[in-house]
């Protein structure tokens, strides 16, 4: 059997942390090999050995049959490896074609002077873009593309250098259902061309949709490799988290006849009109889910409520009392908490330890002048950090570790923790479980349940259908800046929700 990659006994130690311990992994041409594991299991660490960023402490590997003990980024590229990170590396200010050929622009000589050969470059770019289904002009600036299109450009870039081994680390976490389907189409095509793909995702449904084999890691250890065909996804969960995980968190008792309204939004329109005439109530005892395509107006509405973006009209009521929100600080002071999307960009302080990070929001809420004034209590703050790190199983050496050194998903857990810890009346969660493993997801859902049972209002914006239907008691669908449908959970189906989500375009 021919292998694109073979890794044996890979061990990777960082100061104080063994991120990988004797892990075996291989990749065949034309297959999608899924890497599965909890946050901090070592998935990104393993693929970063292949991309030349991590230099393993121990272990051997062959790439295309050639033996190596360690790679540099250049060696990685030369041996046909390309990695698509979540933080995309395309350059916004350049055109698609320039991005594809950056560093190796085709040149021609005019009167003896070398110049970029745009005709050749655009023609070559066109060919690649057609192969990827990017329906844009090669001269389009990358900044004008959607996240999904940028990702396509990133993949095209890998094809431009004839990569044989493609690594995708959580590629669909910011993609809509449609965009994900499109990506899968492309992956299938790449497989036919004999390219091997290493695929990391926390969306278990995707394993059956796109995977050929799965390797499970747990705490840096190799748990085994199985053929996707021969395994049920539910059986993989105990392998990765060491226990069964509950998936449904709906109310077990019916909501009462005339439930108390905790929170209301009336006729909210954003000044930029990205959300228009939005009205809804949040009832006591329910988790309200907001569904829709990316950009449909859900986050946009939440930003309007929380005072992040200006609104031209609209009112917000808490327990029937009108709130006066001028900015996020005043929203927080009046009892609203908002776990924003894009937490990695806006979410945390690079130089804070976990416990300080988790205290930030609580202290801000306590403060009087919008700054870090007033008394703080280190002992309490540490206790609080311990509680939430345990609840969400945040993988860290201690709460004194720097947040920035945690794995992607564990950073998310810390950021979600600092909002869970705030004493608020209404909690808005915008894609709270993005990048978070199945085990911790269920902990977050359970905390939401506890919150609504305690009389808090809970709103969850989610693009994850399993989460929407498995957790939200009532669902409101946004489409093109408006609300197009509302369902009780029992009446909602994936088809109905998707239909309503495209209704206003
Ligand atoms: N540069 C580093 N310094 C110290 N520790 C690190 C470093 N990089 C990773 N680690 C640690 O190695 C372990 C594995 O991290 P890794 O990023 O591989 O996890 P992951 O499986 O990709 O998780 P996630 O699903 O959250 O992305 C974690 O405990 C992490 O804290
Ligand atoms: Mg990772």
Are 317 and 286 in contact, with CB atoms under 8 Å apart? Answer: no
Q: What residues contact residue 216 under an 8 Å CB cut-off, 6+ apart?
A: 36, 37, 223, 224, 225, 226, 236, 239, 240
Summarize the confidence of residues 69-96 as an average pLDDT. Answer: 90
How many angstroms does the Cα of residue 282 sit away from the middle of ligand 1?
38
Whose alpha carbon is nearest atom 25 of ligand 1? Answer: 39
How many CA within 13 A on the CB side of residue 49?
31
Helix runs in 308-377, H state only: 328-333, 343-346, 354-366
Instruction: Check pLDDT > 60 for residue 17.
Output: yes
Q: How confident is the model at residue 342 (pLDDT cuts 50, 70, 90)?
A: low
Whose alpha carbon is nearest atom 22 of ligand 1? Answer: 44
Number of the ligand 1 atom closest to the C-alpha atom of 12: 12
Whose alpha carbon is nearest atom 17 of ligand 1? Answer: 407
Test site for ligand 1: of 42, 394, 407, most ligand atoms within 8 A of the Cβ: 407
Q: Which residues, in sequence order, are bridge partners of residue 7? A: 25, 61
Place of tokens 């978070």: 436
Containing 445, the helix (H) or strand (E) segment is: helix 438-453
How many angstroms does the Cα of residue 169 sit away from the middle of ligand 2?
7
Are 150 and 129 in contact, with CB atoms under 8 Å apart? Answer: no
Question: Bigger pLDDT: 275 or 250?
Answer: 275
Instruction: Check pLDDT > 80 for residue 253.
Output: no
How many angstroms does the Cα of residue 406 sit away from the middle of ligand 1?
6
Nearest Cα neighbor of 222 from 56, 55, 25, 63 is 25
Q: What is the pLDDT of residue 350?
A: 64
Are 145 and 136 in contact, with CB atoms under 8 Å apart? Answer: yes
- Which residues surround the ion ligand 2 when the cut-off is CB under 5 Å? 44, 408
List residues near ligand 1 (CB under 6 A).
14, 17, 19, 37, 39-45, 395, 405-410
How many angstroms does the Cα of residue 197 sit away from the middle of ligand 1?
21
pTM (2 d.p.): 0.86
Cα torsion through 447, 451, 453, 455, rounded to 10: 180
Summarize the confidence of residues 354-363 as an average pLDDT. Answer: 88
**Of the ranges 121-125, 343-347, 463-467, which one carries the lowest mean pLDDT score?**
343-347
Sign of the Cα pseudo-torsion (46, 66, 155, 35, in order): negative
Q: What is the pLDDT of residue 426?
A: 96
**Percent with pLDDT over 90 in the chain:** 63
Using the CB atoms, write b or e for 260-284: b if 16+ within 10 Å: eebbbbeebbbeeebbbebebbbbb
How many angstroms does the Cα of residue 12 sit away from the middle of ligand 1?
10
Are 416 and 391 in contact, with CB atoms under 8 Å apart? Answer: no
Q: What is the pLDDT of residue 363?
A: 84
Instruction: Check pLDDT > 70 for residue 359.
Output: yes
CA Rg value for the chain: 24
How many angstroms does the Cα of residue 123 sit away from the middle of ligand 2?
36
CB atoms within 10 A of CB 396: 21
Nearest Cα neighbor of 353 from 392, 393, 390, 389 is 389
d(CA 256, CA 264): 18
Q: How confident is the model at residue 108 (pLDDT cuts 50, 70, 90)?
A: confident
Are 172 and 180 in contact, with CB atoms under 8 Å apart? Answer: yes
- Mutual angle of helices 354-366 and 408-420, in 10-degree steps: 30
Q: How confident is the model at residue 189 (pLDDT cuts 50, 70, 90)?
A: very high
Name the closest ligand to CA 409: 1
Are 439 and 412 in contact, with CB atoms under 8 Å apart? Answer: no
How many angstroms does the Cα of residue 15 sit away from the middle of ligand 1?
12
Q: What is the pLDDT of residue 248?
A: 85
Instruction: Check pLDDT > 70 for residue 107.
Output: yes
Are 33 and 211 in contact, with CB atoms under 8 Å apart? Answer: yes
Whose alpha carbon is nearest atom 16 of ligand 1? Answer: 42
In the chain the first and final C-alpha atoms are separated, in Å, by 50
Are 208 and 228 in contact, with CB atoms under 8 Å apart? Answer: yes
Instruction: Check pLDDT > 60 for residue 346.
Output: no
Question: Bigger pLDDT: 400 or 103?
Answer: 400
Name the closest ligand to CA 16: 1
Q: Give the pLDDT confidence of 268-295 residue by residue, as tens digits.
A: 999 999 999 999 999 999 999 999 988 8
Q: What is the pLDDT of residue 451?
A: 93
**∠420-421-427 over CA atoms, to 5°?**
40
Q: Give the pLDDT confidence of 110-141 residue by residue, as tens digits.
A: 888 888 888 899 999 999 898 888 889 999 99
Q: How confident is the model at residue 434 (pLDDT cuts 50, 70, 90)?
A: confident
Nearest Cα neighbor of 343 from 275, 433, 439 is 433
Summarize the confidence of residues 472-483 as an average pLDDT. Answer: 97
Number of the ligand 1 atom closest to the C-alpha atom of 437: 25
Question: Bigger pLDDT: 110 or 306?
Answer: 306
Number of the ligand 1 atom closest to the C-alpha atom of 410: 26
Instruction: Check pLDDT > 90 for residue 301.
Output: yes
Number of the ligand 1 atom closest to the C-alpha atom of 41: 21
Q: Which residues, in sequence order, are bridge partners of residue 194? A: none
Nearest Cα neighbor of 22 from 72, 49, 60 is 60
Nearest Cα neighbor of 23 from 219, 173, 244 is 219
Are 475 and 449 in contact, with CB atoms under 8 Å apart? Answer: no
Helix runs in 421-493, H state only: 438-453, 465-471
Sign of the Cα pseudo-torsion (181, 187, 190, 191, in order): negative
**SS3 call for 195:** coil
How many angstroms does the Cα of residue 39 sit away from the middle of ligand 2?
7
**Of the ranges 67-71, 355-359, 470-474, which one carries the lowest mean pLDDT score?**
355-359
Q: What is the pLDDT of residue 87?
A: 66
Q: How confident is the model at residue 201 (pLDDT cuts 50, 70, 90)?
A: very high
Q: Which domains does the chain have, with CATH numbers?
A: 5-241 (3.40.50.300), 260-335+424-505 (3.40.50.300), 350-423 (no CATH)
Are 210 and 187 in contact, with CB atoms under 8 Å apart? Answer: yes
Q: Distance of CA 234 to CAs 230, 241, 244, 336, 383, Å?
A: 12, 11, 8, 36, 35
Place of tokens 């900015």: 327
- Mutual angle of helices 354-366 and 378-391, in 10-degree steps: 120
Instruction: Check pLDDT > 60 for residue 372.
Output: no
Token pair for residue 162?
């004839």
């Amino acid at each position: 059997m021919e292998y694109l990659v073979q890794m044996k006994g890979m061990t990777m130690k960082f100061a104080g942390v063994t991120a990988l311990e004797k892990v075996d992994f291989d990749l065949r041409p034309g297959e999608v090999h899924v890497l599965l594991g909890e946050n901090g299991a070592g998935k990104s660490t393993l693929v970063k050995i292949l991309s030349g960023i991590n230099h393993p402490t121990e272990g051997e590997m062959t790439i295309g049959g050639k033996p190596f003990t360690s790679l540099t980024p250049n060696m990685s590229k030369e041996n046909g490896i390309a990695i698509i990170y979540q933080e995309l590396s395309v350059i916004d200010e350049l055109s698609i074609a320039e991005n594809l050929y950056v560093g190796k622009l085709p040149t021609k000589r005019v009167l003896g002077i070398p110049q970029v050969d745009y005709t050749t470059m655009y023609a070559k770019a066109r060919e690649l873009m057609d192969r990827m289904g990017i329906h844009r002009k090669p001269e389009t600036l990358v900044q004008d593309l959607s996240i999904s299109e940028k990702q396509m450009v990133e993949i095209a870039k890998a094809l431009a250098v004839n990569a044989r081994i493609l690594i995708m680390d959580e590629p669909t976490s910011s993609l809509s259902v449609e965009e994900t389907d499109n990506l899968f189409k492309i992956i299938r095509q790449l497989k036919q061309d004999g390219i091997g793909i290493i695929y990391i995702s926390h969306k278990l449904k995707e394993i059956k949709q796109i995977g050929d084999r799965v390797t499970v890691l747990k705490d840096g250890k190799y748990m085994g490799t199985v053929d996707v065909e021969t395994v049920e996804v539910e059986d993989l969960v105990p392998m990765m988290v060491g226990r069964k995980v509950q998936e449904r968190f709906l109310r077990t008792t019916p909501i009462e006849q005339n439930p108390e309204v905790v929170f209301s939004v009336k006729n909210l329109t954003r000044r930029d009109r990205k959300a228009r005439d939005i009205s809804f109530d949040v009832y006591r005892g329910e988790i309200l889910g907001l569904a829709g395509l990316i950009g449909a107006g859900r986050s946009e509405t939440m930003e309007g409520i929380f005072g992040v973006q200006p609104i031209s009209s609209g009112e917000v009521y808490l327990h029937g009392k009108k709130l006066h929100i001028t900015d996020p600080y005043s929203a927080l002071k009046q009892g609203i908490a908002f776990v924003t999307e894009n937490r990695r960009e806006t979410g945390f302080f690079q130089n804070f330890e976990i416990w300080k990070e988790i205290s930030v929001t609580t202290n801000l809420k306590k403060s009087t002048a919008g700054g870090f004034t007033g008394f703080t209590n280190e002992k309490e703050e540490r206790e609080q950090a311990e509680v939430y790190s345990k609840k969400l199983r945040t993988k860290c050496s201690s709460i004194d570790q720097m947040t920035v050194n945690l794995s992607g998903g564990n950073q998310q857990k810390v950021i979600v923790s600092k909002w869970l810890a705030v004493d608020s009346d209404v909690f808005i969660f915008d894609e709270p479980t993005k990048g978070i493993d199945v085990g911790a997801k269920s902990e977050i859902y359970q905390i939401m349940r506890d919150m609504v049972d305690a009389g808090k209002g809970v709103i969850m914006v989610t693009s994850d259908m399993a989460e929407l239907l498995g957790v939200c008691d009532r669902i409101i669908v946004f489409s093109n800046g408006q609300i197009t449908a509302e369902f009780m959970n029992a009446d909602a189906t994936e088809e109905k929700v998707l239909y309503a989500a495209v209704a206003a375009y």
